[in-house]
Structure 1
Amino acid sequence: MASTAPRRRSLFTSRLVNTAAEGEQPAVVEDLRHAILAGDEPPGTPIPIDAVARFFGVSPIPVREALKVLLGEGLVEHVPRVGYAVAKLAFAEFAELYDVRAALEASALRQSVLRATAADDVVVHETHAAMGRAMASGDERGYHAESRRFHVALIGPAGMQRLTHMYESAWNMTEPARPMSRVEAGGRSVFYDDHDRMLHAFVARDADTLVAESGRHFGHLREAIAAFRDDPDVFRPV
Structure 2
Amino acid sequence: MRRPSDFTSRLVRTAAAAGEMPPVESDLRHAILTGDQPPGTSVPIDEVAAFFGVSAIPVREALKTLFGEGLVEHRPHVGYRVAKLTFLEFRELYDVRQALESAALRAAAVNATSVDHDRIRDAHGSLADAGAAGDREYAAATRRFHFALIEPSGMHRLIRMYETAWNITEPARPMSRVRTHERAGFHADHERLIAAYVARDTETLIAESERHYAHLKSAISEFADDPECFADPA
**TM-score normalized with structure 2 length:** 0.95
Q: Distance in 2 between matches of 1:35 and 1:178?
A: 12
What is residue 38 of structure 1 aligned with on the other side? 34
Q: Which residue of 1 aligns with 2:116?
A: 120
Q: Is the 8 A contact 1:179 1:225 kept in 2?
A: yes
Contact 1:105 1:155 in 2 (8 A): yes
What displacement does 1:113 show?
1.1
The answer to whether residue 225 in structure 2 is matched with residue 225 in structure 1 is no
2:97 corresponding residue in structure 1: 101
Asked if 1 retains the 8 angstrom alpha-carbon contact of 2:34 and 2:136, the reply is no
Partner Cα separation in structure 1 for residue 97 and residue 218 of structure 2: 15
Q: CA offset at residue 202 of structure 1?
A: 1.0
Paired amino acid for 2:6? L
RMSD: 1.2
Q: Which moved more, 1:24-33 or 1:87-96?
A: 24-33
Residue in structure 2 matched with residue 195 of structure 1 by the alignment? 190
In structure 2, distance between residues paired with 1:138 and 1:215: 28
Whether the 8 Å CA contact 1:13–1:51 is kept in 2: the answer is yes
Task: Give unmatched runs, 5+ long, in structure 1.
Answer: 1-8
> 1:144 aligned to 139, 144, 155, which one?
139
State the alpha-carbon separation in 2 of the partners of residues 223 and 79 from structure 1. 32
Offset of residue 81 of structure 1: 3.3
Q: What is the rounded CA distance, in whole Å, between the counterparts of 1:10 and 1:169 in structure 2?
A: 27
Q: Which runs of 4+ in 1 moved over 6 A?
A: none
Decide whether the 8 Å contact of 2:98 with 2:213 is kept in 1: yes
Displacement of 1:71 after TM fit? 0.5
Give the deviation of 1:17 after TM superposition.
2.2
Q: Quick check: 1:10–1:45 contact (8 Å CA) kept in 2?
A: no
- 1:124 is matched by which residue type in structure 2? I
Q: 1:185 aligns with which of 175, 180, 195?
A: 180
Distance in 2 (alpha carbons) for counterparts of 1:49 and 1:173: 21
Counterpart residue identity of residue 48, structure 1? P
Partner of 1:74: 70
CA distance in 2, matches of 1:146, 1:209: 24
Partner Cα distance (1:10, 1:180) in 2:
26
Q: Tell me if the contact between 1:16 and 1:35 (Cα under 8 Å) persists in the aligned partners.
A: yes
Mapping 1:202-221, distance limit 5 Å: 202-221=197-216
When normalised by structure 1's length, the TM-score is 0.93
Q: Partner letter of residue 10 of structure 2?
A: R
Please report how far the alpha carbon of residue 142 of structure 1 lies from its aligned counterpart in structure 2 after TM superposition: 1.3
Aligned residue pair count: 229
Q: Using the alignment, how far apart are the partners of 2:9 and 2:122 within structure 1? A: 34
CA shift at 1:138, angstroms? 4.6
Deviation at 1:79, TM superposition (A): 2.6
State the secondary structure of the residue aligned to 1:198.
helix
Distance 1:194 1:186 in 2: 13
CA distance in 2, matches of 1:139, 1:217: 22
- Tell me if the contact between 1:88 and 1:234 (Cα under 8 Å) persists in the aligned partners: yes
Q: Which amino acid aligns with 1:126?
A: D
The answer to whether the 8 Å contact 2:189/2:208 transfers is yes
Question: Once the two structures are superposed, what CA deviation does each residue of 1:137-182 show, in whole Å capped at 9, x if it has no partner?
Answer: 2522212111111111111101000000000100000000000111
- Matched with 2:22 is 26
Is residue 2:194 matched to residue 1:170? no
Matched, 1:158 2:153: yes
